[in-house]
Amino acid sequence: MGISFLFRPLGAFLAGHFADRIGRRAVLMTTLVMMGGATTLIGLVPTYATAGALAPILLVSLRLIQGLSAGGEWGSAVLLAVEHAPAGKRGLFSAGPQIGAPAGLLLSSAALAVVNIVAPGDAFTEWGWRVPFLLSFPLMIVAWWVRVRVDESPVYERMAAERERTPRAPIATLFARFSPLVLAGALLFAANGTAGYMTTGGYIQKYATNEHGMPRGDILWAVTAAAAVWLASTAVTGWLSDRVGRKRTLVVGFVVQALGVVALFPLVNTASLPKVYAGLFLVAVGLGLTYGQIGALFAELFPASIRASGASISYALGAILGGAFAPTIAAALRESTGSTTAITAYLLAAALVGLAVSLLLRDRTDIPLGHEHEKEQSVGHFVWQPAAVRM
């Protein structure tokens, strides 16, 4: 898991640059083929017994391609949705790409649960695990059919008509003038991802089955149900943030997420399936409340000419800080302390960091996104920031 995440920043740097220079849509189509192709091919990777050292080399190479494409996918998808959104509906439109994560967890967990029934025991490890990967190919075809019918972002099209006014090196401009925004965005995403990857990274699944002997199928169905709750709360949060603001929903969300992570392991440690469901559901609600509005918030946070670079890089850095190694850190804390209390403290600290950043940011809901409003977009990001930033 961690190896692919390490390549997300590289994918984000490349995709952000090209999305700002040649358009969001072109980058989105490229990353779709990369991700869908690599995921499908993982399902076809030969075993070590048949291919020797070539098998792990192929697997790692495909995981790296997944990391590159994932780093570039998110920013372009979110901006294409937000920059197409009508007035007052950016949060709702941005929740569309955001539900991809819980939807992916829902589908993958459900697929694994079904495969676990169809191919139990040794059959699962021999060939059953390949089925969900192979199913990504028809999903890629459907996604291509949908995306090829989406027009380029109107914000980018207007910006491209005045190319001489945009930075030739958007990433250099981003870090020279807006580094605090990149850090703030990364910390927000990390705070959400640290808790999220307890399930998407597989830690809770392994912990409940290995430490408490709970049936793998039961836990997979619990995670599947929690993913459905996460999906629903993400969609509702996107809509709600258009009514009450991105900042308010984030603040409430991190409070709920903090309560959820405090309750999670005490409930899982009971080895009672209903209580496992309760713990996962509470965390899922908190995740949705801190996730559904992030796409719109990132679009409103960065100026138009560097928006794709800012959103993509903040996302990728946050994914590493809060997602890539969260399950590994949790396992290390469990092993070194002998209990899950340290894991709870780790997850709680992440939620509190997200809460602090949310309080420091100024609410910019519905700020104009067009290139002609670049000056307005370049100031007023933090509650204490009075000075203008010149582009």
Q: What is the CATH number of the domain that holds 105?
A: 1.20.1250.20
Residue of 277, 293, 165, 290 lying closest to 220 (CA atoms): 277
pLDDT of residue 391: 41
In a domain, 391, yes or no: no
Rounded-to-integer distance, Cα 16 and Cα 241, Å: 25
Q: Is residue 49 part of a domain?
A: yes
User: Is residue 39 one of the residues assigned to a domain?
Assistant: yes
pLDDT of amino acid 367: 93
Closest CA to 349 of 261, 266, 284, 251: 261
Asked if pLDDT for residue 390 goes beyond 50, the answer is no
- Residue 90 in contact with residue 33, Cβ under 8 Å? no
pLDDT at position 166, please?
61
Please give the residue range of the domain that contains residue 55. 2-377
Q: What is d(CA 189, CA 357) in angstroms, rounded to the nearest whole number?
A: 11
Environment class of 313 (CB within 10 Å of its CB; exposed 0-12, middle 13-18, buried 19+): buried
Domains in the chain: how many in total? 1
Does residue 337 sit within a domain?
yes
Distance in angstroms (rounded) separating the CA atoms of residues 280 and 338? 22
| pLDDT in the model for residue 388 | 41
- Backbone φ and ψ for 377, nearest 5 degrees, come out as -70, -20
How far apart, in whole angstroms, are the C-alpha atoms of residue 217 and residue 314?
36
Residue 122 has pLDDT above 80, yes or no: no
| Distance (Å, whole) CA 78 – CA 368 | 16
* pLDDT level of residue 386 (50, 70, 90 thresholds): very low
pLDDT tens sequence across 11-57: 888 888 888 888 888 888 998 899 889 999 998 998 888 888 898 89
Of 68-72, 215-219, 384-388, minimum mean pLDDT range: 384-388
Residue 299 has pLDDT above 70, yes or no: yes
| Chain segment 147-192, per-residue pLDDT in tens | 888 888 888 888 877 765 566 788 999 999 999 999 999 999 999 9
Q: Around Cβ 50, how many Cβ atoms within 10 Å?
A: 8
What is the SS3 assignment for 361? strand
In a domain, 382, yes or no: no
The secondary structure of residue 87, as a DSSP letter, is: T
Give CB contacts under 8 A, 24+ apart, made by 145-148: 147/25, 147/28, 147/29, 147/32, 148/29
279/314 Cα distance (integer angstroms): 29
Could you tell me if residue 225 is inside a domain? yes
- Asked if residue 239 is part of any domain, the answer here is yes
Query: Would residue 182 count as lying in a domain?
Result: yes
